[in-house]
Amino acid sequence: MNIPFRKITSTPTDFSVSLDGVTFKGEIAFKERNQAILQAHLSGEISLTCDRCAEDFATMLDEKIALLIANGIYEGFNDTLDVVEINEMIDFDELLRSEVEMFKSDYHSCNDCKNQERN
């Protein structure tokens, strides 16, 4: 699903994309100049690899995502939102893929290891 940046207005536009059982659903609204704010929810089941024992395990995603979409180079500084630079076209499937990758790159441990960490 692609939406050209120039089609984004101050009235929020809904979007919903899914990939491999993960759904990325929310809305995007024009903010100012070359910037738009995206607010979304990432949900569904994904497979992770435990960082302690290297076993694969499944977990349910339930993540709130807020992004600042910049059409072109973003020259400001934003400490509350992650900034994603795009080139005229907003590719929601690509955003979904990168959010899932970002989540996977965090530290994750399976339930067995979590229990051991507690002891």
52 near Zn ion, rule: CB under 5 A: yes
Neighbours of 25 (CB within 10 A): 16
- How far apart CA 116 and CA 119 sit, in angstroms, is 5
Give min distance, CB of 102 to Zn ion, in A. 21
Residue closer to Zn ion by CB (options 70, 110) is 110
- Chain-centre distance for alpha carbon 75: 21
How many chain residues bind Zn ion (CB under 5 A)? 5
34 and 70 Cβ atoms separated by less than 8 Å: yes
Bridging pattern class, strands 89-91 and 2-4: antiparallel
Residue closer to Zn ion by CB (options 9, 49) is 49
- Region near Zn ion per CB under 5 A, out of 40-48, 51-59, 73-81, 82-90: 51-59
Write out the residues near Zn ion by the rule CB under 5 A. 50, 52-53, 110, 113
